[in-house]
């Protein structure tokens, strides 16, 4: 493997594209007492178009990536969770808009656990009976999600922001959409997207790079060359709805304010810029955050976040408030003010130090290290390059991003009021 010593952290990462096509990154942490491993594919809920044998395309049922995640743990040899239980590893999986990840955390029997992970993700097994059984299980999960106010207010906002982009659809799909899923369709999605050229393996903790590569040499099945699907969705710059309102059993109104970002290409500096701009606008050290607190418009549940993926980006502000519309207006006014008056150099440096410190502080935990590397790989940037960008991004570059990435008119306010 190729050792790369990070100039700021001093840690050495080992990277290699395995002969099977899989990108492998190992972060040895001799002082750690455990290992975190994640085996992921760049396939999530927004990948809802599948090529057909005749050169055309078809739209697959909403929620199929999440459904596939559930089903992959089953095989003819039994449930992978039971195999992990025998090694003492804690295993899990998750599906997001742009990835599906399978993982374990273990402090003993690490190599046997790694073998289980590599084996079951490469071994799909779907039958009509097991697929039908899972429809009932995931259907119940979907219904439970519909009763969660936090989930409702988020996806109402996404539905308001986007006209056509599949990020507007719940990752789990609907009861009606998953009823259309068949074993044949699962196999087609699996073999299209679970190609090792489209996947990554990240291992962090008390493990040696040669141990990981030895497991890869023994267990990975060579994959044919893979070309990514990229189907452009016709998405207007405007929002579908500026205001979405609902009512549920909540103690106080919940809200999400979303600003729809013009499409940008992910680079280390856009990732670093997102961390800094969201804090400059309304992070906990910002003047606006203090004003909102003093006026009683938000409480300690308030949160800010940026997330983006292929062809979309969203700036999120959310929490509880008796007057969400006033909060939205104040945030939009602050963005417009910063665009007009410019960023304060001292504030930029303070935010830079804070963002860098928070990022580095989490890097003594193997799971945080593994997830950060995975996020960078899925975003198409080199591991830990965001750290370098945080240190290097200039005031002028950040100012340029502030103007290019925010349109205060492209905003949706989603509110869930008490019944």
pLDDT for 195 equals 97
Q: Is the pLDDT of residue 373 over 80?
A: yes
Q: Which residues pair with 313 in a beta bridge?
A: 308
Q: With bands split at pLDDT 50, 70 and 90, how would you rate the model's confidence at 319?
A: very high
Which one, of 275, 280, 273, 278, lies nearest residue 345 by Cα?
Answer: 280
| Residues annotated as part of the active site | 69
pLDDT for position 310: 82
- Is the pLDDT at 140 greater than 80? The verdict is yes
| Residue range 225-248: mean pLDDT, rounded | 92
The band of 89, judged by pLDDT with boundaries at 50, 70 and 90, is very high
pLDDT band at 301 (very low <50, low <70, confident <90, very high): very high
pLDDT band at 192 (very low <50, low <70, confident <90, very high): very high
Q: What is the pTM of this model?
A: 0.95
Look at residue 229 in the predicted model and tell me its pLDDT.
82
Q: 77 pLDDT exceeds 80? A: no
The least confident of 164-168, 228-232, 285-289 is 228-232
Reported as a pLDDT band with limits 50, 70 and 90, residue 362 is confident
Compute the mean pLDDT over every residue in the chain, rounded to the nearest whole number.
95
**Distance (Å, whole) CA 225 – CA 188:** 16
Q: What is the pLDDT of residue 157?
A: 98
- For residue 133, is pLDDT > 90? no
Compute, in degrees rounded to 10, the torsion defined by CA atoms 53, 56, 61, 62: 130
Confidence of residue 231 (pLDDT cuts 50, 70, 90): confident
Measured CA angle at 191 (ends 190, 194), to 5 deg: 65
Q: Ramachandran region of residue 380, left (φ > 0), alpha (ψ -120 to 50) or beta?
A: left
State both tokens at 307: 């997330």
Q: Identify the structural domains of the chain with CATH numbers, from first to last.
A: 2-219 (3.30.830.10), 243-418 (3.30.830.10)
Return the percentage of the chain with pLDDT > 90, whole number.
88
On whether the CB atoms of residues 304 and 285 are closer than 8 A, the answer is no
pLDDT in tens, 51-75: 988 889 999 999 999 999 999 998 8
């Amino acid at each position: 493997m190729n050792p790369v010593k990070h100039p700021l952290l001093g840690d050495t990462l080992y990277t290699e594209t395995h002969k099977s096509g899989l990108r492998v990154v190992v972060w040895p942490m001799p002082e750690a007492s455990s290992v975190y491993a994640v085996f992921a594919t760049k396939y999530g809920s927004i990948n809802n178009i599948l090529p057909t044998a005749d050169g055309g395309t078809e739209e697959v049922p909403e929620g199929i990536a999440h459904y596939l995640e559930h089903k992959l743990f089953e095989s003819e040899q039994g449930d992978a969770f039971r195999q992990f239980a025998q090694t003492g590893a804690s295993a899990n999986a998750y599906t997001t808009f742009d990835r599906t990840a399978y993982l374990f955390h273990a402090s003993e029997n690490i190599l046997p656990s790694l073998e289980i992970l590599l084996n079951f993700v490469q071994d799909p097994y779907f039958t009509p009976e097991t697929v039908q059984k899972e429809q009932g299980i995931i259907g119940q999960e979907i219904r439970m999600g519909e009763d969660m106010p936090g989930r409702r207010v988020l996806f109402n906002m996404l539905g308001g922001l986007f006209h056509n982009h599949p990020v507007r659809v719940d990752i789990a799909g609907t009861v009606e959409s998953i009823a259309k899923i068949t074993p044949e369709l699962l196999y087609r999605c699996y073999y299209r997207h679970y190609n090792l050229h489209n996947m990554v393996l990240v291992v962090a903790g008390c493990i040696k790079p040669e141990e990981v590569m030895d497991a890869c040499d023994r267990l990975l099945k060579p994959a044919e060359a893979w070309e990514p699907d990229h189907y452009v969705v016709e998405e207007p710059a405007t929002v579908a709805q500026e205001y979405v309102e609902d009512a549920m059993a909540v103690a106080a109104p919940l809200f999400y304010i979303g600003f729809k970002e013009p499409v940008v290409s992910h680079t280390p500096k856009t990732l670093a810029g997102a961390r800094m701009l969201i804090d400059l606008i309304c992070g906990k050290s910002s003047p606006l955050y203090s004003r909102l607190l003093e006026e009683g418009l938000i409480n300690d549940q308030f949160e800010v976040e940026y997330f983006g993926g292929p062809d979309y980006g969203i700036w999120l502000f959310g929490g509880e408030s008796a007057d969400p519309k006033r909060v939205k207006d104040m945030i939009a006014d602050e963005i417009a003010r910063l665009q007009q008056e410019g960023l304060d150099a001292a504030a930029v440096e303070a935010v830079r130090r804070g963002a860098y410190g928070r990022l580095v502080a989490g890097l003594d935990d193997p799971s945080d290290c593994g997830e950060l590397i995975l996020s960078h790989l899925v975003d198409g940037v080199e591991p830990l390059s965001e750290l370098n960008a945080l240190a290097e991004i200039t005031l002028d570059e950040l100012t340029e991003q502030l103007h290019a990435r925010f349109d205060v008119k492209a905003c949706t306010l989603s509110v869930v009021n008490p019944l």
